[in-house]
Structure 1
Amino acid sequence: MNHKTAAAPSWQYDERVKAGVDYEDAAIAAEYDSRHAKFRDFEKDARVVMQLLDLQPEHTVIDLGCGTGAFVIPAARSCRKVYAVDISQAMLDRCTEKARAAGLKNVETHCAGFLSYEHKGDPVDAIVSVAALHHLPDFWKAVAFKRMYDMLKPGGKLYLFDVIFTFPVESYQIEFNCWVNGMAEKAGQAMAQETIVHIRDEYSTFDWVIDGMLERAGFKTDLKRSDFPYSLSYVCVRP
């Protein structure tokens, strides 16, 4: 079931404005899995996230920025219900196709973003956001964290994975060149170009900025680690 969202206030950041790669493009959405499979193991990553969150059969989960369903499909096989949320209808369509092919009836899709998704059900046990938050400028990241906090039940957990920088700002030129060259070697020129677009046009930030936002939203951080170059994973709890 695909749900649409109400119109946003005129002053709210428009998540549909293209920042970086245009995931509204159906061709790009169709190629997403094959491109990213060159340097990501979707099934393995999903299992790790489910273990970190200690997901149980009775749990409900929101995947914000679910993309083509890399986490949604494994989670729906194990949990009571998964709310699959993405601002790109093209990506969400791919997720819907996968859920249908897997015979899953417990996936509810919403074409919405971090700022526009309105959760109508009971507070959930967990929220997952993988490689999506960087599409928001920093102020709106803080708003997104507070909204996620409010969607969780007490004791509920947030898993965040994103491109987040830990290097000293003065070394950014060396670090970015290293990142682009490394992607070219591992995943080819197309992904190297996508990395360039990310650096130039998207909104990745420093870990100390993210740390402060999570704390101010009310979260307690249980885990913070690097599982992937230039990226961090967090597991946070709503006390």
Structure 2
Amino acid sequence: MTSDVQTWLKTDGEIYLKDIGIKKDQSILDFGCGKGHYTIPAAKIVGKKGLVYAQDKEKEALDKVIKKAKAEGLKNIKAMKTKGELKIDLNDKSLDAVLLYDVLHYHDLEERRKIYAEVYRILKKGALLSVFPRHHQEYMHLKLDEVKKEIEKSNFRLEGKLLKRLMHDDDYVKDHVLNFRKR
């Protein structure tokens, strides 16, 4: 684990997530959670009465997230293994926030529309959808304004376009995050 990741998991991740609107006692989905760079700090914020669903198609990634959670004494993370399907196995209007970080570039427009529809279904009215759409240079075809328009067409309203220092893979980056609210 790099020193950047250690710092992120220890302090910076919680500061970042609180700043974008994650709060105590919330229920959150980290869609495509990967190594858990957002799952672990989110679980610390939401506390014992909150819950973080860590969804990924990679079993190894989920195993690492659960191992990190145990090491931190966190018991409020539920791993959700998928086969890459776009259906989210959660109840309607059951979540306070969804994080879509570093995942949109893997999907074409039609698949992204399905993801937005599923996120809309599982979020409570007024709940947060936070999106970090950027990835590596080869995926730069996915422009911020295009993502913004796609999500707004799915009945979300843009709350803010934030320039933030956040974790991408295992390094800090400064980039834009889009925060939406379910209408």
Q: 1:129 aligns to what?
A: 100
Contact 2:91 2:122 (C-alpha < 8 Å) held by counterparts: no
TM-score (norm 2): 0.80
- Give the 3 Å change call, closer, same or farther, for CA 204–131 of structure 1 in structure 2: farther
1:82 to 29, 52, 55: 52
How many Å separate the matches in 2 of 1:207 and 1:77? 29
Q: 2:2 aligns to what?
A: 34
Shift of 1:224: 1.0
Q: 2:170 aligns to what?
A: none
Contact 1:59 1:81 (C-alpha < 8 Å) held by counterparts: yes
Q: Identify unmatched segments of 5+ residues in structure 2.
A: 166-172
Query: Which structure would you say has the larger Rg?
Result: 1
How many Å separate the matches in 1 of 2:20 and 2:152? 20
Shift of 1:137: 1.4
Shift of 1:120: 3.8
Q: 2:114 aligns to what?
A: 143
Q: 1:102 aligns to what?
A: 72
1:44 aligned partner, one-letter code: D
Identity of aligned residues (%): 22
Contact 1:159 1:233 (C-alpha < 8 Å) held by counterparts: yes
Q: Identify unmatched segments of 5+ residues in structure 1.
A: 1-32, 165-194
3-state SS of paired residue (1:70): coil
How many Å separate the matches in 1 of 2:101 and 2:110? 19
1:216 to 125, 129, 153: 153
Contact 1:163 1:204 (C-alpha < 8 Å) held by counterparts: no
Shift of 1:35: 9.6
2:157 aligned partner, one-letter code: K
| 1:49-108, Cα deviation, whole Å (9 max, x unpaired) | 22221412x211111111111111121122111111111111111101111111211111
Q: 1:238 aligns to what?
A: 182
How many Å separate the matches in 1 of 2:54 and 2:141? 23
Q: 2:162 aligns to what?
A: 225
